[in-house]
Every structure is written in C-alpha cells, then in structure tokens.
Copies of this chain bind each other. A is one copy, B any other.
Amino acid sequence: MTTFTEKLREAQGRNRSWLCIGLDPVMERLPKTVLASDNPLLAFGRAIVEATADLVCAYKPNLGFWLAEGPVGLRALQDLIASIPNHVPVILDGKFGDVGHTAAAYARAAFETLGVDAVTANPYLGLDALRPFLAEEEHAVFLLARTSNPSAPDLQDRPVGSHPLYEEVARLAVGWDAAQPGICGLVVGATYPEELARLRELAPDLPFLIPGVGAQGGSLEAAVAHGPTAGGLGPLINSSRGILYASQGADFAEAARAAALILRDQINTERQ
C-alpha cells in the first residue's frame, strides 16, 4: 500500500514540480469551443489535465464549482477524476466538517464514489469530524489552518491564551498526526506569509497545501521558503484561475500549459 505522502513525493520528483492545479470550472468563463461540446465541464477538465499532467504534483478540484452545475457537474467531476493518471494525487477541496456519522458519508463520497486521494477539512468540529477521513494511510486530510481570504482573521486570529486560534489548530493537527504520521496536512494561504512561517515552525513535519498564489496575490517566495517539511516533502502550491483561464480562446489548453510551465519553473527557480 502506497501512503499518500509517498505518492505525493513520487509525483513531485517525477514532474520536478510543487505545482498543484485547482480544477475549478466556471461555466461563464469556459471557452466557446468547449461550450459547444456535449459535456463542457468534462471536456474542459480533460483538456486541462492532458495539457498539464506532466507539470504538476497534484490536482485539486474544488467541489463547489462542480456542485453548482448539479448532478451533471458531479458526474463530470467523477469522470474527470477517473481520467487523471493514477500517479498524480488528487485532493478534493470540500472543506468538510460534520459530525461523525455524516463525516463518514463525506469520506465515502470522496474516497469511494469520487475516488480521490485526499480531502481538505475544517477544524471547527474537532477530531471526531476528521476520523472517518483518517482511517486509511493511502488517504490524507489537509486541515484549514490559515485560509487565504481577506476575512480569515475574523476567527482565525482570535487570541487563545498567548497565541492566535490558527496556531491552536496547528498544534491539534500535530497531535492528531502523531498517531498516524503522514495522514494530516495543513492548508495555509500564501497571502499570509508571516503566518505561513510561524505554522512551519509549529508543524515541521506536516505537508502544506498553499493556495492564494496567482489571482489572490500571495507570496511565492514565502510558499517556497516555508513550504517544505523538515523531511523535504515539498508543498502543494495551488493555482487555479491563472492557469485555467490563461486564454479563453480555442488555444486555452496550450495557454494553460504555458502558464503552468511558467509557474512550475518560477517555483523551481525560487527553490535554488
């Protein structure tokens, strides 16, 4: 059995890449050539994956964009995931957080019905909401610590004793991961470079999923500097819109490949 961490490490090595592409289709932004097909969401997703699968360490579809299109969208997501080469990990960005028996239903949706390798989850409900996702070592959970959005401080910066809440989440995650190393990672927005540095100090061994580079204006430098674990496992540096919509013309897939190549290489240059 390959663990999630092993699969990620292999993908990072094979493609010399810490780039993760967010598969977040929005109907209004799809190229006309794609909209003319029978199944635009699937056609778009497949074209992006075919154009970039040798440049990424992972794909991260966000469930919300597929659900917005209803059952047809969910079917397209399922078919797209099935078409992603098996050696590229897929993280379902669902930010799940529900009570135990419901969390088990979400785990089934993610790992069995959709067939992904890992998910994102929200820490607000505590450990029993995460357990169903942590049952198999081939899977992993990336727990929201510091999100990339402007309102992140509303709750995440509230002081819990001497430190902000997001640090408390990291401490809890380190504890939960200790029982089964490699099963738990953190989501840390590149838009908050100081918090990223602090979280790496607190959680030296947890893989980081880092959104917020690109359209959201986060720091690539901070993502590269503080992204890797003490053991050298690289972060998943996510970009979505900047790659998916690099062109909205008929050349969208080539443009996505070009944008992905530039970002992957920027990351690799920064690593040196």
Contact = CB atoms under 8 A, between A and B. Distances in A.
Given A102-B62, A128-B151, A160-B160, A113 B172 contact: no
A144 B124 contact: yes
A65 interface: yes
A155 interface: yes
A70 B64 contact: no
Interface string A138-178: 00000010011111111110111100010011001000000
Given A64-B98, A68-B105, A78-B70, A165 B160 contact: yes
Contacts of A102: 24, 62, 64-65
A106 interface: yes
A248 B98 CA distance: 25
Given A113-B70, A122-B122, A123-B124, A168 B172 contact: no
Interface string A90-111: 0001011111101101101100
A167 B111 CA distance: 35
Contacts of A53: none
B129 A151 contact: yes
Given A125-B152, A126-B155, A71 B64 contact: no
Given A95-B122, A102-B62, A147-B125, A71 B69 contact: no
A75 interface: yes
Contacts of A75: 70-71
Interface in A49-77: 62, 64-65, 67-72, 74-75
Contacts of A150: 100, 128
Given A67-B113, A69-B113, A71-B74, 12 more contacts: A24-B102, A62-B98, A62-B102, A68-B105, A68-B113, A70-B74, A95-B96, A97-B97, A123-B155, A124-B155, A127-B154, A158-B168
Interface of A: 24, 26, 62, 64-65, 67-72, 74-75, 78, 93, 95-100, 102-103, 105-106, 108-109, 112-114, 122-129, 144, 147-156, 158-161, 165, 168-169, 172, 211
